[in-house]
Amino acid sequence: MQTAGELLLLLPMGLQTRSRGRRRRPEVSFDPTPHREQLVAILRELEARLSPGDGAALPTRELHAILRRHPREGRGFFSRAELISGIRAFGREAGIGLGEQALVRSLRMRPVRTQSGVTPVTVFTKPYPCPGECVFCPNDVRMPKSYLAREPGCQRAESNGFDPYLQTYNRLKALTAIGHPIAKVEIIILGGTFSFYPGAYQRWFIKRCFDALNDLGAGREASADVGAARVDHHTLPARVDGRSPDLSYNRELSRFLKVLHGERMLHGAEHASWDELERAQRDNERAGCRNVGLVVETRPDRLDRAEALRLRRLGCTKVQIGFQSLDDDILARNKRGHDVAATVDAMRVLRAVGFKVHAHWMPNLLDATPQRDREDYVRMFADPAFRPDELKVYPCSLIESAELMVHYEAGDYRPYTHEELLEVLLFVLEHTPRYCRLSRVVRDISSEDIVTGNRQSNFREVAERALRERGGRGADIRAREIKHEGVEIGTLQLRDTSYRTSVGQERFLELVTGDDRVAAFLRLSLPDDGVFVPEVADSAMIRELHVYGAALDLGDRDPARAQHRGLGSRLIAAARRIARGGGYRDLAVISAVGTREYYRNQGFGDGVLYQHVAP
């Protein structure tokens, strides 16, 4: 008889849920050939409108004026994706002088997606049990724990049956259709506690993401080998009520699978060996679509030395970790399941291995107050035990299916008012140090899922506007990125910020403009004695190297952009000087699979889990 955990492993990648969210239009392939005359005319007008080095998207009003003059078959307008298809088909033939890259950039939809230098792709693991019992967590059994079916990323995952290959392949195909480069891809794996999923499933999931990258990079059509056996689960409720002691997310899933399938389900549909994973990784090192970052999320109490090294072997370079609070009383009151000491231990392990650390922090938890939240935030950056590299600030949202509803209905919990939340977020924006990136402020939860409290998903914009009106300015990385702006390389200055961590000294090296806009940065760890990883026991380590500006394809050059202009080499040279001055044996780098070739070209040699160069 299989255990409930073994049965839950078989929850299908082809989960057939009936989404309550908006319906998506089916993708229809577009053949530009019958529309050559109109498309070439549009391309020539676009070129006349643009100038060399123009980095911004064409204003929608101007684009619509051009489209009205050249309608599709006399009726309707061409979409941006169809125009980009026309550029790729006829740009050279039509004698376009600015080139395909400039024209595609002018039409790119939502350029913010790739203006940080890479193309992020978020994929979700399937619904699976969670080791936590947090009172604030929703209980949508259609989704991985803590997620909701109306969230945009979850809708994409559901429409692809939670299959890692399909999620990766189809998302990148959609992005390239609207003008985004896909040569350098950061894979972000969300879905609750990744470390709690079975190892075989983890290896399979990541391998299939790499398979999708490798197929896209080689121009191959989607593989037919996708997904596991599908399960008809229409009898499964959309959510369980966290107020009921007889129901839980874990129990409901276990009961469903046991009743529906019993002993008949066969194990092994979602399995990959280490050899199979490593083969897919090697293929990606020189692929046309490379993985330049691999991110997973987990809990502090699931991380120890063995787990961190296993994540590194999987190819991970960054770990999202839920701090939620740095107050033991609040953690206990919210049934988080671990104390602050567990977070301290997890941070020490992650830093020793060299991971970038992307923390989650939640103001407005049960028993929190705005003042306690401000004190918590100060501690996060004042104490060397924490000091994350990136941060998501997720004010607690009151969700109908969460156990927090019990406390709300009893009068023990209330969401912050607009003004209270605004003041907390203003404090966050003003007190985030320059070495940290505030990647998100307020989670993108549908207002339909929130019982009461803040329903503004754009609250960050509200807070940033209020900060400007008060004469303030955020100093975090995201507030200072150059994004799509042009850069005069010769004017960039090297700025070095030093601070202590739980394993040693950290040096945050930036190349900044005269007005302190960051064009590139490097995180250099200078550990004290005692790092537990033998391979890097005497090494300084590059934990992250990032060049900003709109993402470019491999080998592309653009004199108005920061990427591919030697900024990375300049920062590596500075890191080598510092490592040499500190007496370290060598300089190591926690490279992603798709950046190994770049570091080889910089003189690094391959180790077991890292690459190394003499300082």
Report in angstroms the alpha-carbon separations of 536 from 540, 596, 613. 8, 17, 12
Three-state SS string across 423-487, please? HHHHHHHHHCCCCCEEEEECCCCCHHHECCCCCCCCHHHHHHHHHHHCCCCCCCHHHHECCCCCC
Per the listing, tokens 């180790």 go with 607
Distance of CA 553 to the CA centre of its chain: 19
Q: How far apart are CA 176 and CA 179, in angstroms?
A: 5
> Is residue 343 scored above 50 in pLDDT?
yes
Q: How far apart are CA 514 and CA 54, in angstroms?
A: 22
Q: Which residue has the higher pLDDT, 83 or 101?
A: 83
> Is residue 468 scored above 90 in pLDDT?
yes
Query: Is the Cβ–Cβ distance between 442 and 460 less than 8 Å?
Result: yes
- Residue 185, phi then psi, degrees to nearest 5: -120, 130
> Is residue 115 scored above 80 in pLDDT?
no
User: Which structure tokens are listed for 105?
Assistant: 């950039």
Report in angstroms the alpha-carbon separations of 152 from 31, 122, 123, 202, 443. 28, 10, 11, 23, 11
Q: Are strands 184-190 and 290-298 parallel, antiparallel or unpaired?
A: parallel
pLDDT tens track for 378-429: 999 999 999 999 999 999 999 999 999 999 999 999 999 999 999 999 999 9
Q: How confident is the model at residue 463 (pLDDT cuts 50, 70, 90)?
A: very high
- Residue 543, phi then psi, degrees to nearest 5: -95, -25
Burial class (CB in 10 A: 0-12, 13-18, 19+), 218: exposed
User: For position 612, what pLDDT does the model report?
Assistant: 98
User: Which structure tokens are listed for 451?
Assistant: 């019982």
Name the segment(s) of the chain with CATH classification 3.20.20.70: 303-480
Q: How far apart are CA 265 and CA 243, in angstroms?
A: 32
CATH hierarchy code of domain 303-480: 3.20.20.70
Q: How confident is the model at residue 357 (pLDDT cuts 50, 70, 90)?
A: very high
Q: Which of 54, 40, 165 is nearest to 102 (CA)?
A: 54
Output Rg (C-alpha) for the chain, integer angstroms.
Answer: 25
Q: In this structure, what DSSP letter does residue 118 have?
A: S
Q: How far apart are CA 441 and CA 463, in angstroms?
A: 9
* Cα dihedral 599→604→606→608 (10° resolution): -100
User: For position 159, what pLDDT does the model report?
Assistant: 87
User: For position 149, what pLDDT does the model report?
Assistant: 87
pLDDT tens track for 209-263: 999 999 999 999 987 665 544 444 445 666 678 787 667 888 877 776 565 544 3
Mean pLDDT, the chain, integer: 85
CB neighbour list of residue 567: distance below 8 Å, 6 or more residues apart? 489, 492, 511, 519, 520, 547
Q: Which of 24, 277, 337, 14 is nearest to 156 (CA)?
A: 24
Give the amino acid at 143.
M
Query: Is the Cβ–Cβ distance between 588 and 581 less than 8 Å?
Result: no
Name the segment(s) of the chain with CATH classification 3.40.630.30: 481-613
Q: Are strands 539-547 and 504-512 parallel, antiparallel or unpaired?
A: unpaired
Mean pLDDT computed over 132-145:
91
Query: Is the Cβ–Cβ distance between 338 and 382 less than 8 Å?
Result: no
User: For position 185, what pLDDT does the model report?
Assistant: 97
Report in angstroms the alpha-carbon separations of 279 from 28, 211, 269, 607. 33, 10, 19, 17
User: For position 23, what pLDDT does the model report?
Assistant: 37
CATH hierarchy code of domain 481-613: 3.40.630.30
Q: Where are the beta strands (DSSP E) in 36-154?
A: 119-124
pLDDT tens track for 496-554: 999 999 999 999 999 999 999 999 999 999 999 878 999 999 999 999 999 987 544 55
